[in-house]
Structure 1
Amino acid sequence: MKERNIGIDILKFLAALLITNSHMELLYGKYSALATGGAIGDVLFFFCSGFTLFLGKMGRFDNWYKRRINRIYPTVFAWAILSAFFFNQHQSMDYTIIHGGGWFVTCIMIYYVVLYFIQRFLLHHLKWVFGIVAFICITWYFIMDRPENYNMYGHTYFKWGHYFLFMLLGAMMGISQKQWKSNFKTDLIKLIGSIFVYYAILFAGRKYPLFSELQIISLIPLLFIVYYFYKVCSSDTLKKWYTNRYIGWGIKLIGGLCLEIYLVQGTLFTDKMNHIFPINVLIMFFIIFVVAYLLRCVARIFSQTFKDGEYDWKAVFKLI
């Protein structure tokens, strides 16, 4: 495995943890401020998707997009089936196709269409594409009507625009011939500094109207967060962790369940164990990971059912 792909594997692991933690306000009770990191987890996932997307041959659009559907939608359909049987959540077929994976899946399926044509016709002009998308996002931000206490990382279509920047950033770094060498301590300090600036802007926006109006500038430290996260994850220090038999196995397992974790988490949260905080958080993490793995197994069964050939049960239950 190439060294830079080791960094991507670790980033997927971190994305899975951050995406899970971001929706756990119910578990933290009076410590709900600890449930942060959702936006960072989202952009890390988009970055990883963009990074790997252009590395292989894409071919004809219909066949390429079919592979993307085959990667994502068996899991979406499997979760719709499990949710109906075990959680009494009954969704129509049109809802499942369009919204069954949440905004995240719908968004990334649209991104795939745009990125295909960018790769086909503008592969050598990604910096220009990044600049144009950034300009569109800035213009969109300042001309749209924003309600009081507006959160650009909340439930809003605007984030469907600015999150695309992180997929483009991943694509640019993925196809770059530059060696992204890392100085672990230096890059870690820069990462921590970027995270501090990012949250300082968001927290200031809650108290001061000016910062609330200009919260779009938080995209700048967020881009640096992703960049330095990748450099830290690609460092020799974390590479040693990755090559450890047990730590590396855990990273690859949880990172590979990122999509499944995103789908199952919202349904599983409960505050019935809050009296044993913080142990309840660890228990909930474990439950989410187990259910995510079971979902992946069911998705593989679902996928194999509609293909020629016999069931490959070893592949169904394969951990990583």
Structure 2
Amino acid sequence: MNQDRLYSLDMMKFVAAIFITNSHFQPLYEGVNTAFATFGVQGNALFFFVAGYLLMMGFGKHKELSFIDWFKGKIRRLWPAAFIWVVAANLIWDAPLTFDKMILGSDYWFLQTIVVYYALFYLLIKVLPAKCRFWGGNKYMLSLFGLAVACSVAYFFWMPVAEGSPFHTSFHFVCHFSIMMMGALVYVCRDRISMGHWVKDVCGMALSFVLYFLILAIGKNKTGWLYDVQVLALVPLHSFVYYGYKVASYKWTDWCLGKRFLGKGISLVAGLTLEIYIVQFMLITNKWNSVFPLNIVIVFAIICLAAYLLKVMTAAFLSLLSKDKFALEI
């Protein structure tokens, strides 16, 4: 596996950006089948996995960084972009400009969730281990992962019965933390992961993908034990991400990202995942539905362009507030 360039993570973020955006494309599928606007749960899971992997890798590089400095860096990456876009949306589309949107990120559950996850992650990885010296590193990580899964299951049975998919309710504030912990665990155990034949991993990923939807189909809008069956969808969701990581770690990913134009396009979208998530809601339109499916490409291209401009504006804004030399990293 290529651990230097991390092409596998770029590919996962690229797919995550497409999946998450497609899940909000209901207006683009009008007259065809709005059920095609899906895969958002899988996209979010892929991104949280990558976040956990990179967080764990970052801890190895910045061992002495305090929580305040570390957390400020994370907020610096997330909040300025959301703040600038809320202001831009008000100026361009006259969208409401409120304290909740600008400071609390009320329009973006993902931002609110990952900020809490960051703090919890630091507590569990950097603080508690000092008090748990008797517990081996890998065993401790595995225990954290198991505990996170158990919390998701407990919350599922505690929360109100959902209309539709429970993964589209407050459950998504909880269930992705175990995915993030799995990303951290995979990083710790990355050298021990067996890379067998790529066909087996592709089949495992595809089977997990289909099984997730089959389990939801059994329990969706049902009552009693049939409804409760949906909690089992956590299993294929996790396995889909794990096999997705393995599939993305084969040489085909290096080949794709090594190509001049294809690789640049994948890297660009992967680097704009956050901005794409932020801007898309104001830009999704059915204006070009008459040229379906070309309308999907058109709207996604507009979203990527807006996301890039937002990243440039955010970098410029941050450079004005710091002494660091202006630099745009994608």
Once the 2 structures are TM-superposed, how far is the Cα of residue 65 of structure 1 from its aligned partner? Answer: 0.4
Paired position in structure 2 for 1:70: 76
Once the 2 structures are TM-superposed, how far is the Cα of residue 4 of structure 1 from its aligned partner? Answer: 7.4
Using a 3 Å threshold, how does the CA distance of structure 1 residues 295 and 169 change in structure 2: closer, same or farther?
same
Moved over 6 A (4+): none
AA aligned opposite 2:40: G
SS in 2 for 1:260: helix
Once the 2 structures are TM-superposed, how far is the Cα of residue 201 of structure 1 from its aligned partner? Answer: 1.1
Using a 3 Å threshold, how does the CA distance of structure 1 residues 112 and 242 change in structure 2: closer, same or farther?
same
C-alpha distance in 1 between matches for 2:324 and 2:180: 36
Using a 3 Å threshold, how does the CA distance of structure 1 residues 122 and 8 change in structure 2: closer, same or farther?
farther
Identity rate, percent: 32
1:99 aligns with 2:105: yes
Aligned equivalent of 1:270, options 272, 282, 285:
285
Alignment of 1:1-320 (within 5 A): 2=3, 5-29=6-30, 30-56=32-58, 57-58=62-63, 59-100=65-106, 102-122=108-128, 124=137, 125-147=140-162, 149-154=163-168, 156-180=169-193, 181-206=195-220, 209=223, 210-308=225-323, 312=326, 315-316=327-328, 320=330
Q: Name the stretch that deviates more: 56-65 or 85-94.
A: 85-94
C-alpha contact 2:156 2:171 (8 A) present in aligned 1: yes
CA deviation digits over 1:122-154, x for unaligned, max 9?
A: 55211111222222222222233314x252211
C-alpha distance in 1 between matches for 2:251 and 2:128: 34
Q: Name the stretch that deviates more: 229-238 or 254-263.
A: 229-238
Q: Name the stretch that deviates more: 18-27 or 182-191.
A: 182-191
C-alpha distance in 1 between matches for 2:217 and 2:12: 25
C-alpha distance in 1 between matches for 2:95 and 2:124: 38
C-alpha distance in 2 between matches for 1:200 and 1:300: 43
SS in 1 for 2:6: helix
C-alpha distance in 1 between matches for 2:255 and 2:190: 24
Once the 2 structures are TM-superposed, how far is the Cα of residue 115 of structure 1 from its aligned partner? Answer: 0.4
C-alpha distance in 1 between matches for 2:153 and 2:203: 29
Q: Any unmatched runs of 5+ in structure 1?
A: none
Once the 2 structures are TM-superposed, how far is the Cα of residue 94 of structure 1 from its aligned partner? Answer: 4.3
C-alpha contact 1:182 1:235 (8 A) present in aligned 2: no
C-alpha distance in 1 between matches for 2:114 and 2:10: 19
CA deviation digits over 1:19-61, x for unaligned, max 9?
A: 1111001101132121110000001000000000011225210
Using a 3 Å threshold, how does the CA distance of structure 1 residues 177 and 12 change in structure 2: closer, same or farther?
closer
SS in 1 for 2:220: helix
AA aligned opposite 2:205: L
Q: Name the stretch that deviates more: 225-234 or 182-191.
A: 182-191
AA aligned opposite 2:230: Q
Q: Any unmatched runs of 5+ in structure 2?
A: 130-136
C-alpha contact 1:76 1:101 (8 A) present in aligned 2: no
Once the 2 structures are TM-superposed, how far is the Cα of residue 106 of structure 1 from its aligned partner? Answer: 0.6
Q: Name the stretch that deviates more: 58-67 or 198-207.
A: 198-207
C-alpha distance in 1 between matches for 2:221 and 2:95: 39
Using a 3 Å threshold, how does the CA distance of structure 1 residues 100 and 277 change in structure 2: closer, same or farther?
same
Once the 2 structures are TM-superposed, how far is the Cα of residue 235 of structure 1 from its aligned partner? Answer: 0.6
C-alpha distance in 2 between matches for 1:309 and 1:133: 38
C-alpha distance in 2 between matches for 1:95 and 1:84: 11
Once the 2 structures are TM-superposed, how far is the Cα of residue 76 of structure 1 from its aligned partner? Answer: 1.2
C-alpha contact 1:183 1:235 (8 A) present in aligned 2: no
SS in 2 for 1:194: helix
CA deviation digits over 1:174-225, x for unaligned, max 9?
A: 1225244253222111111111111111222237544333211001000010
AA aligned opposite 2:8: G
C-alpha contact 2:82 2:105 (8 A) present in aligned 1: no
Using a 3 Å threshold, how does the CA distance of structure 1 residues 132 and 189 change in structure 2: closer, same or farther?
same
SS in 2 for 1:214: helix
TM-score by length of 2: 0.89
C-alpha distance in 2 between matches for 1:238 and 1:223: 21
